Amino acid sequence: MEKAADHISIPHDSSRKLTKLYILALSAVAFLTLLGQVLIQKALSNQTKDSYVVNMSGRQRMLSQKICKLCLAIERSPDSLYRAKSAQKLQVALDTWSKFHHGLRYGDTSINLPVNVNHQAELLFEKVDLYFKEIYNKAGTISSVVQSKPWDSKLIFDEIEIILKSETSYLDLMDMIVKEFEKEARLKVLILKKIEVVLFVITFLVLLLEGFFIFRPAAQKISEVIADLINKEAQLRTLNNQLEIRINERTKELFEKNRELEMKNKQLDKINKDLDNFVYTASHDLKAPIKNIEALFHLLKGQVPETQLKANEITEMMDESIVKFKDVLSELGNIGKVQGEIDTGTEKVAFKEVLKEIKLSIKDQVQSSGALITEDFKAAPEINFSLKNLRSVLFNLLSNAIKYKDPERPPIIHISTKMIKDYILLQVTDNGMGIKENEISEIFNMYKRLHSHVEGSGVGMSIVKRIMDNNGGKIEVKSKVGVGSTFNVYFKC
């Protein structure tokens, strides 16, 4: 397969070279297009400014004519109120005229006028400036003497004459300035057209070269690759057919192995069940001989004279051994039952009732230890679970809480339930001896005992864990030596 894959691989050197050339050509076209847009936008902006300058230059001519007309109206009007209004208009026109005159020549950002860079226009401004000042000063004088009383038009006669003479020269020179600005704007447009033509020619040449040196070789290469791919496709079909045959063979092998594994699993299940049955049967069959031994022992014990102290000690030791033997057999029986109760039927069980039954069965232990047992099942009073398994869980937790009490104080045990997501939590808290942190995981091992001074077989917590594992639940422990322990049992809802 690896050799076949190497055989059908396509060399990339030529394709990489074409890709680089293609990217280079596209970049050049994009750069030229972008450059053209930048130049066009800049030219449009300049053209807008130039047209504004031309319009303002023409407006200056109109304002000069308006100033002359207002001066003549003031001279010829007999109405003092009309003269006063005309004088106000004249002053406003003079202010605007003066501001734009200086703006056109030196630039003024407040009225969007750029600095004049046209040399010919500057020479004309130097000439027109003389007439501008004559008209501006004389018109200003007329505006100031309008309020004179008694009014006499002869007061402004000389000023009117100077304004009229200067206006003709001013208008001629302003016409020349406007034409100079127009000429400059047209020249910029012509330059822009030439730049556009140059950019168009360069772009066209780039596209032409791209077609000859990139697209045509690329098309040829693509044709070669397509032809090669058609050949490789036939090879791949052959390889796929071979792979299908191999896969079918392997599938059959795996199927056979799975069948063997299933058979072995069934055999292991049967062996486990046989072992469980053996444990349960052995514990059950041994109970009868032990009971007979116990009965014979008690009969023998009654025949031993009370004066034989040594014999009494021996019989007491034998009695204790028999009790321990019975406990071990009972635990073996419980292990066999729990191992086979994965699919035990469930029913609605009340925690309070089960606890009441357990407290009656261990009444002597509760009284002798002075244990105080409290309960709170309000949050989750019932559960769908095996009654037998729930009784075993509660019995082991409660009896252990009493059995492993702190010798310095009576046991206080609190049992409660609550809902936590998909679980019903059964919590048993005590004030016993506690468990070392590194030994907590060991309490669920079968026959593991952490305290030798307390009677027990060491299988109770193992039974509890098996019950919870078999029913999809779990058990957690939190403990501190000298303080007590809390067992959290999670029943799957």
Q: What is the pLDDT of residue 406?
A: 92
Separation of alpha carbons 354 and 465, rounded Å: 19
Greater pLDDT, 303 or 474: 474
Q: Is the pLDDT of residue 340 over 90?
A: no
Q: Is the pLDDT of residue 47 over 70?
A: no
Total-model pTM: 0.39
- Band of the pLDDT at 373, cuts 50, 70, 90? very high
350-377: b (≥16 Cβ within 10 Å) or e: ebeebbeebbeebeeebeeeebebeeeb
Q: Is the pLDDT of residue 282 over 60?
A: no
Q: Write down the residue that tokens 């090879």 correspond to.
A: 235
- The residue type of 217 is P
* pLDDT tens digit sequence for 344-360: 578 999 999 999 999 99
Q: Is the pLDDT of residue 44 over 70?
A: no
- Band of the pLDDT at 112, cuts 50, 70, 90? confident
Domain residues of the chain, as ranges? Answer: 2-229, 344-492
Contact between 328 and 457 (Cβ < 8 Å): yes
Q: Is the pLDDT of residue 445 over 80?
A: no
Q: Is the pLDDT of residue 221 over 80?
A: no
For the chain, give percent helix, strand, coil, nearest 5.
Answer: 75, 10, 15
Contact between 108 and 116 (Cβ < 8 Å): no
Q: Is the pLDDT of residue 25 over 60?
A: yes
Q: Is the pLDDT of residue 4 over 50?
A: no
Class of domain 344-492: alpha beta
Greater pLDDT, 17 or 134: 134
Q: Is the pLDDT of residue 493 over 90?
A: no
- Band of the pLDDT at 456, cuts 50, 70, 90? very low
Of 16-25, 100-109, 272-281, 298-307, where does mean pLDDT reach its minimum?
272-281
Which residues make beta-bridge pairs with 290?
none
What percentage of the chain carries pLDDT values higher than 70?
Answer: 76
For the residues 174-186, what does the mean pLDDT come to? 87
Contact between 490 and 425 (Cβ < 8 Å): yes
What percentage of the chain carries pLDDT values higher than 90?
Answer: 21
Of 16-30, 371-385, 404-418, 432-446, where does mean pLDDT reach its minimum?
16-30
Q: What is the pLDDT of residue 383?
A: 95
* pLDDT tens digit sequence for 226-241: 888 888 888 888 888 8
Q: What is the pLDDT of residue 453?
A: 47
Contact between 50 and 185 (Cβ < 8 Å): yes
Q: What is the pLDDT of residue 46?
A: 67
